[in-house]
Amino acid sequence: MRGHAAAQRQGLACVFLWLLGPLLLLSSLTAQAKPDARSVPQAADSVATARVAQLLSAAQMAIQQNSLSLCYQLLEEAYRLRADLETLYRLGHLAYIERRSVEAADLLRRYQSEHDGPLPESHSDVAKILAEPLPPSGEVLILGEKGSLVLVDERVVGVLPLSAPLLLSVGKHQVVLELAARRKQQDLDIHTGASWLLRSSVESDEIAMSQAPLLVWLPHYRGLDGEAIRQIEQAVELSAHEAGYIVKRQEGALSAAPQLQNCLNSLQCQEELGRRSQAEYVLLLHSEHSGLGQQSDWRLHLSLIDVGVGDRAVSSNQLCANCTLSKAAGKVSAAVALMLEQSFQRPRGTLKISSVPSRAEVFIGDRKLGITPLLRPAWAGRLPLEVRAPGLPPYQGEVLVEPERTVSLHIQLGDGTIEEDPSAQKPSKKPLYKKWWPWALGGVVLGGAALGLILGLTPRTHQSINWVP
């Protein structure tokens, strides 16, 4: 045992000497010759590249010697020098070895999403690791200054902008953003399925924290291969993240409501899936392309469903003729960003309906809103309203929903009468003595009468008046 420990210490000492030697040589060469100012950035970049390669090689040796703490220190230094994908993979692989499975999944899924093309064979373990069941966790979307280094519990995990929200295990965590000399931090308490949004800006030294809204993503592909699907999904997630939304994929949403698997073509089912996922929106995409080679014709149809309203907020049809994959992905990204903005700006009000008898079905056109008593958002404008109850004639009419206002209706089925909801508060009428205008009018009348009396008693000329000194 002592011989093995001594050999391990000797190996680590060799690693440090091997790392230190090139730096000493580089400093001596730099002292002997002053480089041209124009070559300084290229020289610094090549030095960083060489240093990162040395650090990665040393980290691999540290893993082989089971010195995992040293391995992380070497990888952190390498990632701070250059935040490349290879170092991100090594950090994820180290987290998996140390059985930090949530952190490993977080790092490796971002490595996989950012890697162009198929993964190298030496990294074939990524798919296997990501396929393993994930322990309870939550997601954190971070929006902030580009280039900020992200640390979780003082461990490096990425650089902004992140290609996907952070996966964090259940429990307390500290998120730190570092950029130049600035350091910001935010404490989090993660619960299962939690989603948080952290926003950082140049103007503030604080990180703003709020619940992150969710967007359920329901795609339908026709004629697309795996690489095309990956780029389209990456484009959708990029636009959603920039707008502050965390994307929940179809398989993740259906895991909580598997009975909806066979009805996803209906609006009511799509709305229900969004509601059970506690999402604000459901995004639908039907995409297909025809042709061979790098360029082909693409048809892209997108619909955004507002879960609260229970209806399509906005749709977009994109035709990209003789289009490359990257151009098609760009069109999808731009369409998603515009649709989210348009939906947010679309005016809404609130519809409140009660009926006799209760539990009557409420429809706006062909779309069922629910049963009475009903309270839910609705698009502003004149809407066709129908209320149905078994065995009674339905009520049919129109309702005017004003932006940011609540319209309250009470419907008596059978005789077709409609009135304001009696439970709605009506403004009380002020008694006459509490109103201002009778007092003002009375004051004017009394004042006018007094003035007239004074003028009537005053002589029209002052010549006959004896002034008393």
CATH of the domain at 84: 1.25.40.10
Higher pLDDT, 135 or 2: 135
pLDDT at 431: 42
- Say yes or no: 321 and 334 in one domain: yes
3, part of any domain: no
- In angstroms, the CA 20 to CA 29 distance is 15
Q: How many CB atoms lie within 10 A of CB 288?
A: 15
Separation in Å, CA 273 to CA 282, 310, 324, 397: 8, 11, 33, 30
Look at residue 22 and tell me if it is in a domain. Answer: no
**In the predicted model, what is the mean pLDDT of residues 404-423?**
78
Share of the chain above pLDDT 90, in %: 66
**pLDDT category of residue 293 using cuts at 50, 70 and 90:** low
Residue 468 pLDDT grade (very low, low, confident, very high; cuts 50, 70, 90):
very low
Residue 123 lies in a domain: yes
Picking from 345, 360, 394, the residue at the C-terminal end of a domain is 345
Count other Cβ atoms within 10 Å, centred on residue 432. Answer: 9
pLDDT confidence of residue 463: 36
The boundaries of the domain holding residue 316 are 215-345
* 124 and 141 belong to one structural domain: no
Residue 118: inside a domain, yes or no?
Answer: yes
**What percent of the chain shows pLDDT beyond 70?**
78
**Residue written as token pair 């989603």:** 195
- Per-residue pLDDT, averaged over 370-395, amounts to 94
158-167, 174-183, 400-409, 422-431: the lowest-pLDDT one: 422-431
| Environment class of 412 (CB within 10 Å of its CB; exposed 0-12, middle 13-18, buried 19+) | middle
The reply to whether 290 and 322 lie within a common domain is: yes
Is 0.85 topped by the overall pTM? Answer: no
Longest CA pairwise span in the chain (Å): 138
The three-state secondary structure class of 381 is strand
Do 141 and 246 reside in the same domain of the chain? Answer: no
pLDDT above 80 (res 243): yes
Q: Kindly state whether residue 307 falls inside one of the protein's structural domains.
A: yes
Question: For the chain, what is the mean pLDDT?
Answer: 83
**Chain length of the chain:** 469
Domain identity same for 354 and 319: no
Four-residue CA torsion sign, 59, 60, 61, 62: positive
Task: Fill in the amino acid letter for 82.
Answer: R
> For the domain that residue 390 is a member of, what is the CATH number?
2.60.40.1120
In a domain, 434, yes or no: no
Last residue of a domain, one of 164, 187, 212: 212
Q: Say yes or no: 225 and 253 in one domain.
A: yes
The per-residue pLDDT for range 165-193, each reduced to its tens digit, is: 999 999 999 999 999 889 999 999 999 98
Tell whether 56 and 150 lie within a shared domain: no
Query: Is there a single domain that holds both residue 190 and residue 118?
Result: no
Report, as an integer, the average pLDDT of 68-91: 96
Kindly give, in sequence order, each residue whose CB lies less than 8 Å from that of residue 80, ignoring residues fewer than 6 positions away: 149, 156
Q: Give the residue among 153, 207, 213, 152 at the shortest CA–CA distance from 182.
A: 207
In this structure, are 76 and 128 located in the same domain? yes
Mean pLDDT of 225-240: 90
Window from 95-109, 168-182, 371-385, 403-417 with minimum mean pLDDT: 403-417
Residues 168 and 250 in one domain: no
Q: Three-state SS for 278?
A: coil
Tokens of 443: 């004051």
pLDDT at 457 over 80: no
Based on the number of CB atoms within 10 Å of its own CB, is 73 exposed (0-12), middle (13-18) or buried (19 or more)?
A: middle
Domain count, the chain: 4
Q: Is residue 24 part of a domain?
A: no
DSSP lists the bridge partners of residue 304 as: 283, 314
Is the domain of 81 the same as that of 192?
A: no
240 vs 454 pLDDT, higher one = 240
Say if 65 falls within a structural domain. Answer: yes
Q: What CA–CA distance (Å, rounded) separates 239 from 253? A: 20
* Domain shared by 336 and 238, yes or no: yes
CATH number for the domain spanning 153: value is 2.60.40
The last residue of one of the domains, among 345, 363, 393, is: 345
370 within 8 A of 343, measured Cβ to Cβ: no
**Beta-strand relationship, 395-401 and 381-388:** antiparallel
- The whole-number average pLDDT for the span 270-291 is 91
